[in-house]
Amino acid sequence: GEAVYDIFTTLPDTGADYETAVARLTEHFAPKKNAVYERHVFRQARQDAEETLDQFQLKLRRLAATCEFANVEQELVSQIIEGTTSAKLRRSALREADITLDKLMSIGRSIENAERQAASIERPTTTVPVQKLSTKKSRCSSTVPKSSSEHKKVDKCSCCGGV
């Protein structure tokens, strides 16, 4: 509208062609990135409990894209060491002076796989209490009176199943 035209006329180097004019307007209206704030957000990133190391690295890469780092790989290494949930990975990484991102990720994946496999092996089995069946016949105190018509029929005990 008219408000955009007023802004457009005040912009420097709008050019004579449509593409240049659109590019200048896009630059004007696009939100300005504050690299200091973006680095702060990057430094606050932590690995979530259910997040794998690869997912954490991907999250950090997305955050690093707006940080204007000189060496993104080294910043990723530092933040993974700082923000990982794995104390084993942190200790392993700190043992090496110049660890690369590839080596850090390889160590981290190995630790994750080992933890997952160990957890499946170490799962406690649940025990269910079961009452033992006895093969011995117990003496039943109940007596079943027999009538004279049932002399030939053999009754089984209702307690132990015996005759």
Model confidence pLDDT, tens digit, residues 34-93:
899 999 999 999 999 999 999 999 999 999 999 999 999 999 999 999 999 999 999 999
Cβ atoms of 83 and 47 within 8 Å: the answer is: yes
pTM, full prediction: 0.60
Greater confidence, 56 or 161? 56
Greater confidence, 18 or 51? 51
Does residue 134 sit within a domain? no
115 and 46 assigned to the same domain: yes
* Burial (CB count <10 Å: 0-12, 13-18, 19+), residue 56: buried
**Among 154, 155, 153, 133, which residue's Cα sits nearest to residue 142?**
155
105-145 pLDDT, tens digit per residue, is 999 999 999 999 998 898 876 777 777 766 666 666 555 55
Does residue 136 sit within a domain? no
70 and 117 assigned to the same domain: yes
Greater confidence, 33 or 61? 61
Does residue 161 sit within a domain? no
| Domain around 20 | 1-30
Number of domains forming the structure of the chain: 2
Beta-carbon contacts of residue 61 (< 8 Å; ≥ 6 apart): 72, 76
